[in-house]
C-alpha cells in the first residue's frame, strides 16, 4: 500500500493560528506546518476526511478523483467534513462512493448527499471485519467519543499486497484487554495519535507522550508492533515540544513524527529526499541538520572531500562538526553516488556546490568547455539520489542570484550548479529555500 499523509496535525493544526508559544513559533520559523490529520491509501481509500483534506490534496498535487471508499473514525469536525460530499457532487461523473464509519458519523453525512448521488452508507461497530474494495478491514475500539461510547472507532487495514496498517486516531490509552485484538498483527505501519505532549491532563480521549509510549509498549507486547514496524506519530498539536525535541522524545519510544505530504510505500524501505538550498550564510546547513535532529545514526558526507592547507576552511569545518551530534559518522568523500547507493542509515550531503567544484577539479574542466565527464558524474549522482533506499538530505548553494561572475569559469560553474540544483529539486520529495536564516518551503 502507498499511504500519502495529507495532514498530520491536531484539530487546530500545528502551529495554532492564534498562538505564540515556543512550539508554534518554532514551527513558523521552520515553516513546518501541519494541517488536520487525514491520509490517502493507493488513491482509492481515504482515512478520515476533515475540512483540510481536499485543500491539502490540491496543494500536494494529489487527485481524489479515484477515491471510492472513506473510513471515518468519528464525527468530530476535524475528522469529518460532510460538506465535501456536496462539492464532490458538482463533478459530473464522479462515480460511486462508500462511506464507512459509526452510525452517528454517517448520519451527519446524509443531509449533504443529493438524491441521485451514488453514495452508499455502511455503519460499523468495533470488532467487525469487512471487505472494502480490495482491502480487508477490521474495526477496532477507540478510547474516545463524540457524545457516547462506541461512536468512535479505529481501523486495521490490510492491502491487496498483504501490507498492513493501523489507523489509530483519535484515542486515549487502550484498556489492557483491547491489545489482544491486534495480537501478532505485525503491522508494517502504525499511525498513532500523539496530541498533547506532556499535557495529558487536558484529555483522557487523546494521547500525550507518556500515553503514546504506553500504547506502543502494549502493542509490542502482543506482536502488533515489531522491529520492522514504522511507528508514525500523527494528530500532533502545539502542546508538544518543538519538533527537534519531539523527534528525540519519539525516537526514545521507537517512533517518529509524521509530516504533511509524506508518502510511505509500505513494504519498501522508507525514502524521503529533502533538498535544501540558499545563499551563503543563509542557514542551509543548520536547517538540514535539524531535519535529521533526534536521529543518532546519520552519515554526514562532506561532499567536497578532504581539504588541507586552508586554516579558515578548517575553522568552518570545526564549527559544523561541533554542532552535529557526536554519534553521527562523518565521511569526506566526493563519491557521493557511491555513498547513497550503499547507505543503510540516513544521509546528509553537504554540499553539492563543493562536490561539483571537486568534479570540475578532477576532470580539469575549469579552463575548457569539455564538460561531458562532469555531466556524466552528475547523471550518476542523480540516479543514486533517485534510488537511495534511506532518507537523505542534500544541501546546495544558489550562486545565480547575485552578480554575474567576471570570469568564464565562474559563469560556467554558476550555470552547471544551477542545472544540478534544478535536477536534484525535481527528484526531491521536499524542497526548502533558505534566506536570511528563514526557511521557505518551495514544494
Active centre residues (catalytic)? 320
Cβ-based neighbour number of residue 373 at 10 Å = 14
107 phi and psi angles, rounded to 5 deg: -65, -30
Q: Name 132's bridge partners.
A: 135
Q: Which residues of 145-172 are buried (b: 16+ CB within 10 A; e: fewer)?
A: bbeeeebbbbbbbbbeeebbbbbbbbbb
- What span, in angstroms and rounded, lies between the C-alpha atoms of 192 and 208? 11
372-387 and 352-362 helices, crossing angle to 10°: 140
What radius of gyration do the chain's Cα atoms show?
24
Cell of 22: 515556543
What does the alpha-carbon distance between residue 181 and residue 339 come to, in Å, rounded to a whole number?
43
Report how far residue 141's alpha carbon sits from residue 184's, in angstroms, rounded to the nearest whole number. Answer: 17
DSSP 8-state code for residue 369: S
Largest CA distance in the chain: 79
Q: How many residues does the chain have?
A: 443
Bridge partners, residue 45, by sequence: 41, 69
Is 281 exposed, middle or buried (CB count within 10 Å of its CB: 0-12, 13-18, 19+)?
exposed
For residue 250, the surrounding DSSP H or E stretch is helix 243-252
Rounded Cα distance between 336 and 352, Å, is: 9
Distance (Å, whole) CA 41 – CA 3? 5
DSSP assigned state of 36: B
Residue 280, phi then psi, degrees to nearest 5: -65, 140
**Helices vs. strands in the chain: H and E counts, helices first:** 12, 21
Tell me 49's DSSP state: B
Amino acid at each position: 500500500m502507498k499511504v500519502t499523509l495529507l495532514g498530520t496535525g491536531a484539530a487546530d493544526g500545528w502551529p495554532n493560528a492564534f498562538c505564540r508559544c515556543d512550539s508554534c513559533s518554532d514551527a513558523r520559523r521552520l515553516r513546518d506546518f501541519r494541517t488536520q490529520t487525514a491520509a490517502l491509501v493507493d488513491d482509492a481509500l481515504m482515512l478520515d476526511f476533515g475540512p483540510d483534506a481536499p485543500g491539502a490534496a490540491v496543494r500536494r498535487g494529489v487527485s481524489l478523483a479515484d477515491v471510492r471508499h472513506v473510513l471515518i473514525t468519528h464525527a468530530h469536525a476535524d475528522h469529518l467534513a460532510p460538506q465535501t460530499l456536496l462539492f464532490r457532487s458538482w463533478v459530473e461523473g464522479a462515480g460511486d462512493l462508500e462511506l464507512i464509519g459509526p452510525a452517528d458519523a454517517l448520519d451527519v453525512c446524509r443531509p449533504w448527499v443529493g438524491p441521485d448521488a451514488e453514495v452508499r452508507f455502511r455503519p460499523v461497530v468495533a470488532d467487525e471485519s469487512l471487505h472494502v474494495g480490495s482491502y480487508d478491514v477490521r474495526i477496532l475500539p477507540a478510547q474516545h467519543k463524540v457524545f457516547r461510547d462506541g461512536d468512535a472507532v479505529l481501523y486495521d487495514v490490510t492491502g491487496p499486497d498483504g501490507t498492513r496498517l493501523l489507523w489509530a486516531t483519535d484515542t486515549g490509552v487502550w484498556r489492557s484487554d483491547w491489545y489482544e485484538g491486534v495480537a501478532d498483527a505485525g503491522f508494517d505501519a502504525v499511525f498513532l495519535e500523539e496530541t498533547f505532549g506532556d499535557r495529558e491532563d487536558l484529555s483522557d480521549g487523546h494521547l500525550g507522550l507518556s500515553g503514546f509510549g504506553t500504547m506502543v509498549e502494549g502493542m509490542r507486547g502482543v506482536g502488533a508492533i515489531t522491529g520492522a514496524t514504522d511507528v508514525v506519530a500523527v494528530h500532533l498539536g502545539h502542546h508538544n515540544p518543538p519538533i527537534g525535541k519531539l523527534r528525540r522524545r519519539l525516537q526514545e519510544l521507537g517512533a517518529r513524527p509524521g509530516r504533511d505530504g509524506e508518502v510511505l510505500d509500505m513494504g519498501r524501505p522508507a525514502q524521503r529526499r529533502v533538498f535544501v538550498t540558499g545563499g551563503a550564510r543563509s542557514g542551509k546547513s543548520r536547517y538540514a541538520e535539524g531535519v535529521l535532529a533526534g536521529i543518532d545514526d546519520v552519515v554526514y558526507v562532506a561532499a567536497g572531500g578532504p581539504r588541507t592547507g586552508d586554516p579558515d576552511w578548517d575553522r568552518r569545518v570545526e564549527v559544523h562538526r561541533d554542532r552535529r551530534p557526536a554519534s553521527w559518522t562523518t565521511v569526506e568523500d566526493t563519491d557521493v553516488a557511491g555513498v547513497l547507493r550503499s547507505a543503510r542509515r540516513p544521509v546528509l550531503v553537504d554540499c553539492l556546490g563543493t562536490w561539483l567544484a571537486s568534479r570540475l577539479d578532477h576532470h580539469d574542466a575549469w579552463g575548457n568547455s569539455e564538460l561531458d565527464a562532469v555531466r556524466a558524474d552528475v547523471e550518476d549522482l542523480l540516479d543514486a539520489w533517485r534510488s537511495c533506499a534511506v532518507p537523505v538530505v542534500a544541501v546546495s548553494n544558489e550562486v545565480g542570484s547575485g552578480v554575474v561572475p567576471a570570469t568564464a569559469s565562474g559563469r560556467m560553474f554558476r550555470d552547471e550548479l544551477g542545472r544540478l540544483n534544478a535536477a536534484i529539486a525535481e527528484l526531491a520529495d521536499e524542497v526548502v529555500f533558505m534566506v536570511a536564516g528563514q526557511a521557505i518551503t518551495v514544494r
